Structure 1
Amino acid sequence: MTLAVALPVTANAAPSPDALIAEVYGGGGNSGATLTQDFVELANKGAAAVAVDGWSVQYLPASASAASTWQTTPLAGSIAAGGRFLVGEAKGTGGTVELPTTDATGTIAMSGTGGTIALVSGTTALTCKTAAACAADPSVKDLVGYGTATVVREGTATGNLANTTSAARGSALPDTDDNAADFTVGAPTPVNSKGQTPGGGDPDPDPDPDPVPGDKRIHDIQGSGRVSPLVGQQVASVPGVVTGTRASGDRGFWIQDAQVDGDARTSEGIFVYTNAVPFTVVPGDSVLVSGTVAEYRPGGDTGTNQTLTEIATPTRITVVSQGNPVPAPEVITPTSIPEAYAPDAGGATIETVPLDPAKYALDFLESREGQLLQVDDARFTGPVNEFGEGFITTKPRQNPAARGGTVYLGYDKPNSGRLKVKAGSAALPKANVGDVLKGATVGALEYTNFGGYTLATNSLGTYTSGGITPEVVAGQRQSELSVATYNVENLAPGNPQAKFDRLAGAVVSNLKSPDVLVLEEIQDNNGATDDGTVAADVTLAKFVDAIATAGGPRYQWRQIDPGNKTDGGEPGGNIRVAFLFNPARVSFVDKPGGDATTPVAVVKDRGRAALSVSPGRVDPANPAWNSSRKPLAGQFTFRGRTVFVVANHFNSKGGDQAMHGRFQPPARSSEVQRLAQATSLRAFVDQVQAIDKGANVVLAGDINDYQFSPALQKLTAGGAVVDLIETLPPLERYSYVFEGNAQVLDHLLISKNIKRYNYDVVHINAEFADQASDHDPQVVKVRPSTGHAVVDEVLFLVEDLLERLHQV
């Protein structure tokens, strides 16, 4: 029995926790329309049914005037938890397809292009004519201004509609009280309370007394390739046992067939995508499913991801029996998945290449799509993010880092044991890298955006902490210049004070207050607000204050404002690089004239290299830096020795094809620009060293590329500078974690004449579920050279002696 509960009604100024408007369509029966009738679809995102007896759906024309009146359609009955409720309105003379049986019917002739729909806990016509007035009316449960609605709406109206389009909320029913953000314009998709769709009929209008399977089984649908041979076709009464369900997001359930065909390439499991259509099946139900075979490509049809084979828009789900044993999961051992990652298609799609699951990891996983898999003692190699997703490894000995990660060591070493995990019916703990799910973790395999093959977990092993803690470096000696690089991830004044405090605390406690701190992703004074603001003094002052409050030095800063929207990053944020420095330890040599477009030159000053402007941008007019951050060079003096520090933030990897995607090997198109940027930066280093071979140069920042990439190979060619990450053991080379791969994006490089240094990547963020930034900082403590080897040795000996005496 379904219990209908009348819940308290809230004003539309607060997002609804239960009943709301899910879709509006006013083009029914108009010229070019397929549907014959206008409709309003309601939904209930709550956990209990909502009674709508005595409620109404009301309509106001787009351009409301004093003479405009609200038209009403009374409602009766209830909206089931997670269910839909279809309100039919006026019919036109066009169209060929009728709505499914409506749950309520009115006669309102809605506009096909714009208007306002209200869900009201009463039947008295509203009188409000503005958004504010409607928000103040406690009877208004939800309000949607669609298309050309100009006055009465929540936030901004939805996109413009036509006779062939409706405005509908996403499958998760977002409700931010901004119609434009919550609704998407597309083909109308009316669903009634029984789950019926136009032309689909009753999901089970006349169940067979003795239902029998149809002529297609799951392995016929999956086929022996990546794309179903039946894609786009209707299938009837496909048998399987329900192995798991998902009631939010992409709603649906998994079924698996115990009758296997003996072909290692064909999966026996599949996802049934119901969208918002209610379903009542539970694991152990033996079902027959009728619907359309579809290939869903996460991220969009034009993207580089592979697809997930589904039975979509089911028209009939028949439960044959209940309480059946769920098929036993296949246990994935460290040797189950091949070491080789993907077939080489010369950069073309592998969707037409026959599967070879014994040879390639991607083929093996594709051949198990939709099936139950089990991983024992699963170790996390990527922390669980805010969406409840993480990465585990099925190959614990594959390039293991000491702290639990899996290290990415080359384009030919993608770490085939990585597997994304997310909640199916079992939510993940807030795990860090190195944490383990002891025992069996079981779930159905699917393919998702940002990670590819994914285990949707039904049950988890016992969560066991791996015990990693944030690292702390030793403080610099008096004779050492400490330089650090830190990507602070879109730092802006509007960020919570807690973010500033955490970043500042790490600078003081974990990095030991470096003398020079190179920052990336400093946003302008109003963050992502796009109003032409480019100055960042408020951002930097707030950070400097936080560091001082945390017990650090009172840093000074140097930076150059970019041109508005010229340097990439979050639109309106105007991210840039910047220097912080401790004036009690190091001096900045200020030379005026540096701005967004003036290039810094290397000049000779008493036989040594110097900068023409300081700070100054390196080669800013070079097309290599289009829509990207320009390097910032600064001249520092430490204990009488000149040190040139260049802050960098190369262009991102956006636009590169997915490692796990359909094109193999994947194209890394963004590398072209980074190679050009490295060429420009290397030319600057060469200019310094052409004047002064003994010059102290430090290149620091987020290069957005690996130590084995063309960009880094260009920078280090001939040994002019040393990439310090390569001085570490291979399994310690990482500062960032992406899709379960511990990898290098951030770099500190020093000129070859600097012989004495201590270097460390300080792991405080990338491996942790709770992060202040997604990057780990790095620190190098150098003994700058005088430019004369013999003098250096004598000077360093004297400095060492003085420090020992001071300690005594």
Structure 2
Amino acid sequence: MDYITIREWTIKRHNLAIALSALLASGAANADIIISEYIEGSSNNKAVEFFNAGSTEVDLSTYVLEIYSNGDTEAGNTVPLEGTLPANGIFVVAHPQASAEIQAAADKTGNLYYNGNDALVLKNGTAVVDSMGQVGVDEDWASEGVAMAEQTLRRKDSIISGDTDPSDAYQPHVEFDTFARDSFGDLGQHLGYGASEPEPEPEPAPEFGACGDSATLISAVQGAGFSSPMVDSEVVIEAIVTADHQGGSGSLGGFFLQEEDADQDGDASTSEGIFVYHQDTQVEVGDRVRLAGTVSEYYDSTQISNLTGITVCASGESVSAASLSLPVSGMADFEAIEGMLVTVSHPVVVTNTDTLGRYGEFWVAKERLYTPTQVAAPAENNDVNIALNAFLIDDARSGSNPESVPFPAGDLSALNPLRLGTEITNPTGVINYSFSEYRLVPTADLQYVATNPRTEQPELAAEGDLRIASFNVENFYNGDGQGGGFPTDRGADSVAEYDRQLAKLVAAIIGLNADIVGLNEIENDGFGEDSAIAQLTAEVNAQSEAEWDFVVFEGADYVGGDSITNALMYRTDRVAETGTAVFTTDAPFDFGNRPPIAQTFHDLVNEDEVTVIVNHFRSKGGCSDNAAAGDQESGDGQGCWNATRVAAAETLLSWIEGNPTGRDVTDVLIIGDLNAYGMEDPIQALIDGGMTDLKLAELGAENYTYVYEGLAGSLDHALASESLTAKVVAVANWHINADEPTVFDYNIEYKSEFNQNNFYNADPYRSSDHDPVVVAIATEAGDTGDNDGGDPDVDEGGSAPPAEEEVPNLDHATTSGSFPVWLGLSTLLLALTRRRLKVTR
């Protein structure tokens, strides 16, 4: 994948040295502010405590905490401090979604997005005051049991000045003591300073009473906000069990209760349901249970735990499900039904299955969600708020990589997929909040409607007599081409993964039933017999009844200097090369935008020529500070490097005008991954230059080849010149990848041996993260005038059909069964001739 959050970092040693030198040149400060406590706990439990070890008050407005992620030499997040800090004073910054205990000790919340391999640097202006970790190094810093990952670290009492060299090797045990993960008891205190006032005596616990006696209403426990107003209070409640998840290891470890219908308060802002963390007493759905326990917020989910009493009062009772509809107006709408039994008032569709195989969860929305710039012109603040439009459906099991995923019915497998677009009819379940998301845990079997089933081939199988496809093969690398050389820069990490990836790609290419296929993201390792393109073509030949070849750029060892490149494959029984294969590395194709490649082909029936140009424009991610204004993230939905992609589109048009293949051909097709959605500037530049957006014309704006975080859109395009547009009879996106669960891909990481087999099949589905695009063309009779290796009816004296006889279209559904006899014989003769002359590459 080459998009948005996946950044391509190649940090040269001299750049690293320059960056670190600049950091050190900022000067070491003599200030007395130090990092006195560091918390890297579960979920969002992160906090940093600062202590004024000096004797005078310090103005914090010039201080900033910088976070350097994953070995970066530029800070990814910064948190400015504020206010003044007296001598021996303490200032605490917390993650905005940290636990209530951390928040209670915090003076400020900020962007504390770090893990144990991220360096922290405290600066006063440009001067380094203190640091943790080593800037420019990606390492989980740990020494003698003291680690920056998943621990609470407290500065040793003897340390009263900071580490002002963020580039030196880092051993946390030298200056910090370690405490258990999620240890917050000392936060806001250091060297005896900052100790809080003693806790008041707790209120006496309420009497447990008997079934039917008065009890605290669940609505009062939940309150009208995101947190309970009764945290740490002991309560007695009596309500109905709506879902039981006491199943031991891997379960939620408790059950859900909902207030009886008659006792609900009628306030839409307060929930009538709650989770009870308790496994020692068996309960069943429909039981009316009376219990006593303590109210708590477990990672922002209100629950009752530490039960001191519980009894089952009755069985076989029920409560009414609340109604939920999408979109909601705000997250408070979900909070108002936290813990409750709900039924969605309308069908929903599956929109995201990225974590289905990993965590047993998937996203649903009322309808398919599209990237805004796929369907509308770029504009400020036009993002889709997924949180208001969708929610998760969850299997209610903790842990990861289960060997049984209960979605869809019959459990998930490579042969039983849950595809995006699948409709689920009015699901019913309880609303749970965990891992910062609201999720529905089904209490009844989900009812699936296969509104987007798999297809064995693109939905234009028999149309046209020349078919051209575009396919991003998601970093297809073959190691050294001899079974070794893994892992590579991208793609497969082992020969086993390579074999799995290869089998899927071959199945997809054959299934496309195309005559010419333009490829993106294939390894840029030349054209020899050990190259990725040669071995992919060889395997397609081994599995296909047709004969395939690939385009070679004579005199070039590689296409540009990027690790990945573009390539062209074609069926030699359908088309032949008539031009000179070329590419350009002129700006803006010298960096970022991969060099476009071009070749002219003619079909062997009509000798109609078309020039195919395969492109891969610069991705949307990784804005840098020195990028031009038009390449910065502007907030209009087009991401980074938009100006660079526009320049690529405009330069491409000029390049085409010069007939780069040496053939004076008006039929031109631009295909490839342009890293721009349908309504974005680069696509518009091509349209303004006279090209037709075939997918917009044939499929409408709501078409897609790629899904990112639940939003669908087309990054892969097909644009035709005016003369070629008149010959196009069909266009299709073959949805074999974007709609499939990610877990079906070739990777074997995070999969047991069972799952490596269960989730994999050597078929086209999830062969990549992009869907292929196919264009069907009705060619016209003509004579290229240049038949080197072309039509044997001209080259070798074959008998062509009479001029007035209509030449039938090739039937791509049958490969050769519909060929006229004369064409079958001539094609056979051509194939034999090519086999005699073919050389090993």
Amino acid at match of 2:419: N
Partner Cα separation in structure 2 for residue 289 and residue 369 of structure 1 = 19
Residue 307 of structure 2 aligns with an amino acid whose one-letter code is I
Distance in 1 (alpha carbons) for counterparts of 2:147 and 2:560: 33
Query: Would you say the 8 A contact 1:694–1:786 is kept in 2?
Result: no
Mapped pair 1:290 → 2:289: no
Secondary structure of 2:297's aligned partner: strand
Q: How much does 1:421 deviate?
A: 1.4
1:554-603 Cα shifts (integer Å, max 9, x gaps): 33255886888xx6xxxxxx444333334552327556xxxxxxxxxxxx
Question: CA offsets per residue over residues 752-789 of structure 1, 9 Å max, x none?
Answer: 3322113211222333445323332111134689999x
Decide whether aligned partners of structure 1 residues 399 and 457 sit closer, same or farther in structure 2, where only a CA change above 3 A counts: closer
Shift of 1:642: 5.6
Instruction: Find the aligned partners of 2:527 and 2:215 in 1 and give their Cα distance.
Output: 65
Structure 1: segments with no counterpart, 5+ residues: 1-30, 36-112, 114-144, 151-155, 167-184, 192-198, 297-308, 342-356, 526-532, 568-573, 592-613, 656-665, 789-796
> Contact 2:364/2:391 (CA < 8 Å) preserved in 1?
yes
Match of 1:210 in 2: 208
In the alignment, is residue 725 of structure 1 matched against residue 695 of structure 2? yes
Structure (1 or 2) with the greater helix fraction? 2
Q: Distance in 1 between matches of 2:37 and 2:658?
A: 74
Aligned to 1:458: 443
Residues 1:188 and 2:180 aligned together: yes
What pairs with 1:510-589 in structure 2 (closer than 5 Å)? 510-515=511-516, 517-523=517-523, 538-551=531-544, 552-557=546-551, 574-583=563-572, 585-587=575-577, 589=579
User: What is the count of residue pairs matched by the alignment?
Assistant: 527
User: Could you tell me how far apart the structure 2 residues matched to 1:780 and 1:497 are?
Assistant: 29
Is 1:678 equivalent to 2:672 in the alignment? no
Rounded to whole Å, the distance in 2 between the matches of 1:438 and 1:767 is: 19
Instruction: Quickly say closer, same or farther: Cα 1:501–1:399, change in 2 above 3 A.
Output: closer
- Structure 1 position 756 matched with structure 2 position 756: no
Q: Partner residue of 1:766? A: 738
Pairing 1:615–2:614 present: no
CA distance in 2, matches of 1:651, 1:750: 23
User: Structure 2 CA distance, aligned partners of 1:562 and 1:804?
Assistant: 35
Per-residue CA shift, 1:15-40, capped at 9, x if unaligned?
Answer: xxxxxxxxxxxxxxxx98999xxxxx
Which residue pairs with 2:611 in the alignment?
Answer: 643
Q: Summarize the alignment of residues 728-743 of structure 1 with structure 2, pairs less than 5 Å apart.
A: 728-730=698-700, 733-738=703-708, 741-743=711-713
**Which of 307, 315, 320 is matched with 1:317 structurally?**
307
What is aligned with 2:407?
A: 428
Distance 1:708 1:484 in 2: 21
- Which residue identity does 2:732 align to in structure 1? D
Give the alignment's TM-score, normalised by structure 1: 0.52
Change in 2 beyond 3 A, CA 1:386/1:161: closer
Q: Over residues 202-226 of structure 1, what are the superposed CA-to-partner deviations in whole Å (9 max), with x where a residue is unaligned?
A: xx9x99772799998654565545x
Letter in 1 for 2:522: I
Higher relative contact order (CA 8 A, sep 6+): 2
Q: CA deviation at 1:651?
A: 1.3
Aligned to 1:801: 806
Percent of residue pairs bearing the same amino acid type: 20
Report the counterpart of residue 429 of structure 2 in structure 1. Answer: 442
Structure 1 252/695 Cα, relative in aligned 2: closer, same or farther at 3 Å?
Answer: farther
Q: Residue 728 of structure 1: SS of its match in structure 2?
A: helix
Structure 1 residues 576, 459: closer, same or farther in 2, change over 3 A?
farther
Instruction: Measure how far apart 1:731 and its partner are.
Output: 8.1
Alpha-carbon deviations, 1:471-517, whole Å to 9, x = none? 4245688963x321122233333325233222212211x211432x2
The alignment yields a C-alpha RMSD, in angstroms, of 5.6
1:266 to 242, 247, 270: 270
After superposition, give the CA deviation of every residue in 1:337-374 in whole Å (9 maximum; x if it has no partner).
35xx5xxxxxxxxxxxxxxx6xx275543432332222
User: Which of residues 669, 679, 689 in structure 2 aligns to 1:708?
Assistant: 679
1:92-241 aligned at under 5 Å gives the runs: 147-148=142-143, 164=154, 188-189=180-181, 210=208, 219=219, 223-224=223-224, 227-228=226-227, 234-237=232-235, 239=237
Tell me what 1:337 maps to: 325
Output the CA distance in 1 between the equivalents of 2:420 and 2:393: 13
Q: Give the Cα separation in 1 of the matches to 2:294 and 2:647.
A: 60
Question: Contact 1:378–1:392 at 8 Å: present in 2 too?
Answer: no
Q: Deviations over 1:366-423 (max 9, x none)?
A: 4323322224785543475323323445x4xx5799xxxx998456888976443121
Q: Could you say if the C-alpha distance between residues 766 and 479 of structure 1 is closer, same or farther in structure 2, counting changes exceeding 3 Å?
A: closer
Q: Tell me, in whole angstroms, the C-alpha distance in 1 between the residues paired with 2:709 and 2:578.
A: 40
The one-letter amino acid paired with 1:713 is Q
2:49 paired residue number: none
Cα distance in 2, alignment partners of residues 371 and 684 from structure 1: 58
Change (3 A) 1:750 1:327: farther
Other-structure match for 2:835: none
Q: Distance in 1 between matches of 2:223 and 2:373?
A: 35
Choose the corresponding residue for 1:746, options 712, 716, 721. Answer: 716
- Read off the aligned partner of 1:759 and give its amino acid letter: V
